[in-house]
Chain A
Amino acid sequence: MAVIYLDHLSGTPLHPRVQEAMINHINTVYGNPVSDHQVGQQAAQALDKARSQVAALINADPGEIVFESGGTESVNHAIKGVAIGMREKGRHIITTNIEHKSVLNSLRTLRLLEYTVTSLDVDADGMVDPAAVEEAITPGTILISVMLANNEIGTIEPITEIAKIAKKHKVVCHTDAVDAVGVIPVDVKSLGVDLLSLAANQFYGPPGVGGLYVRKGTRVWPLLDGGMQENKRRAGTENLIGIVGMGMAAEMAKEEMPERLPRIQALRDKLRDGLVAKIPEIVINGHPTQCLPHLVSVSIKFIEGESVMLMLDEEGIAVATRSACASGSLRASHVLISTGMDFATAQGTLLFSLGRDTTEADVDRVLEVLPPIVKTLREMSPLYKQERVG
């Protein structure tokens, strides 16, 4: 049975052109880009090419791209790099309660080093209020870090407005755009941010490679110390095989986006509307219009997400869950709780993230298989009965 893969937010398969570029690179290039001989310069050229390809995807200059080991390192670098680079100005950072763990736990580390953090709540659609960001700014504020698109509910945040506020108050603005770059058009110049994190495995590139956009003049200290690679911002010999793959993935994302986006969005709409029609007592998460075009985030009442995920897996359908039991944390998703959802409903959350290979038949299959699974589990659930009687 062929797997219907609807978990593209967890990772995407390699684009065939990416695979081809990486294999070709492995077969022909082995030098170190820092070496001045011809073998090294061949590697340096491959690195430059990839940097230009990634820069083009987000409308940056190639010199503003720092390659990193993935989205997590990119976020760690942005946050901790500004904390060190701007420490003469202050020690206060503003963020939101719905960020990825790489943001939340980078700030956990900074709190141990006596930085203070203001973490803002979001509304029921998961939207951050730019006015609340501005109110939180103090003379000691050095960084505002707000994600571009949320990875659990898909809400796209008003980053352009937040970046304007940051600029007005001379505060550095970082956005974790890992779940947006390569999926929707992202332009660093129109966003107006100083720092932006991206990862290749969200757009059909390999895992283990990502990037940090650093607007010229932004004070970001290195996270990894060592040699002078990456314009002295990220030491260590580059993961050139991965970087070459990321470059090609960026080129393909830019080229295919006008075709990919409307097609995937139409399938997403069909899936979302079909689930609402076929399953009673289901909540659609995230903002109704300002949201990622490839994600359906739902909370199915009275049942727990992992059991649904396992039953779908038995049917050859791969989806993600944000239930506490699956994530290994005793608590329900911090993102959903922040939107005001009750703990029990949050436990029944499933994420369907579509991709460039998703077909209409895949969506039809989910709509056929899921309703009876929900029925079976609800009949087993003590909450379902209580709700009915009460």
Chain B
Amino acid sequence: MYSDIVMDHFKNPRNVGEIQDADGVGEVGNPVCGDMMNVFIKVEDDKIADIKFKTFGCGAAIAVSSMLTELAKGKTLDEAMKITNKDVAKALGGLPKNKLHCSNLGADALHSAIKNYLDRKSGKVVDLDKDREEHVASREAQACYCPYCSKQVEEESPFCIFCGADIPHEHDH
């Protein structure tokens, strides 16, 4: 199911842990959906001097976290902001289609850590706990709607019974 690179990063993840006096912290995902990632960065001379992660998630989520930290380390903040989810998936030799959402998590967590660093520098305070609660609540209340005609459809419908459009799987973002 997974490529050799994914399995390597899953089994021997790089840069696991926390940075106690981090300059920026990013958190995305939530345990409701099955994965959650924290990224900690240390910034020196506008560069990512150190980066660590903690991840709750499947094999792909852990491998993505590990590869992301490898890609970001030593980059300038501008360069790091340009790392995309596709870059991470590509560096891993690809991910199964239903696991692509895990790579979204990776780059988003990095960008959120950088944003947190910039916010802190400009004096803004961010309440991570509040964000998390709202995110969890919105997921639990989710019902299924056709993405094309917006009518409510049965869960796991292969296509919309109203407009006939194929309904992509929830994971195939």
Contacts and interface: CB of A to CB of B under 8 A. Distances in A.
Contact of A112 (B2, B60, B154): B154
Contact of B171 (A303, A307, A328, A385): A328
A379 B32 CA distance: 20
Interface in A134-156: none
Main SS of the interface on chain A? helix
B34 interface: yes
Contact of A343 (B18, B31, B38, B156): B31
Interface in A274-307: 302-304, 306-307
Interface residues of B, number: 39
Contacts of A324: 33-34
A332 interface: yes
B145 interface: no
A304 B34 contact: yes
Contacts of B36: 382-383
A304 B154 contact: no
B31 A344 contact: yes
A347 B61 CA distance: 14
B27 A382 contact: yes
Given A314-B11, A328-B169, A382-B54, A343 B62 contact: no
B100 to A, nearest CB: 12
B161 interface: yes
Given A105-B156, A328-B98, A328-B169, A380 B62 contact: yes
Contacts of A87: none
Contact of A325 (B2, B10, B58, B154): B58
Given A325-B58, A385-B54, A330 B170 contact: yes
Contacts of B11: 311, 314
Interface string A317-361: 000000111101111100000000001100100000000000000
Contact of A310 (B10, B56, B169): B10
Contacts of A325: 34-35, 57-58, 60-61, 99, 102
B74 interface: no
Contact of A383 (B56, B60, B154): B56
B56 A304 contact: yes
B16 A379 contact: yes
Nearest to B136: A343
B170 A303 contact: no
Given A325-B34, A382-B56, A307 B10 contact: yes
Contacts of A385: 18, 54
A387 to B, nearest CB: 11
B59 interface: yes
- The CB with the most chain B CB atoms within 10 A, among A323, A325, A329, A383, is that of A325
B34 A347 contact: yes
Interface string B2-24: 10000100110100101000000
A381 interface: yes
B155 interface: yes
A329 B142 CA distance: 13
A332 B56 CA distance: 14
B70 to A, nearest CB: 16
Given A310-B10, A343-B32, A383-B31, A326 B156 contact: no
Contacts of A326: 58
A343 B29 CA distance: 13
B69 to A, nearest CB: 12
Contacts of B16: 379-380
A332 B58 contact: no
A111 interface: yes
Interface in A356-390: 379-383, 385
Interface of B: 2, 7, 10-11, 13, 16, 18, 27, 31-38, 54-62, 98-99, 102, 136, 140, 142, 154-157, 161, 169-171
Across the A-B interface, the 8 shortest Cβ-Cβ residue pairs: A344-B31, A325-B58, A306-B58, A382-B54, A325-B34, A324-B34, A343-B32, A330-B170
Interface of A: 105, 108, 111-112, 302-304, 306-307, 310-311, 314, 323-326, 328-332, 343-344, 347, 379-383, 385
Given A105-B156, A304-B34, 20 more contacts: A108-B156, A112-B161, A307-B61, A310-B2, A325-B35, A325-B58, A326-B58, A328-B169, A343-B32, A343-B140, A380-B13, A381-B54, A381-B55, A381-B56, A382-B27, A382-B36, A382-B54, A383-B56, A385-B18, A385-B54
20 contacts: A105-B156, A108-B156, A111-B154, A304-B58, A304-B61, A306-B59, A307-B62, A314-B11, A325-B57, A328-B169, A329-B171, A344-B31, A344-B56, A379-B16, A380-B13, A380-B54, A382-B27, A382-B37, A383-B56, A385-B54
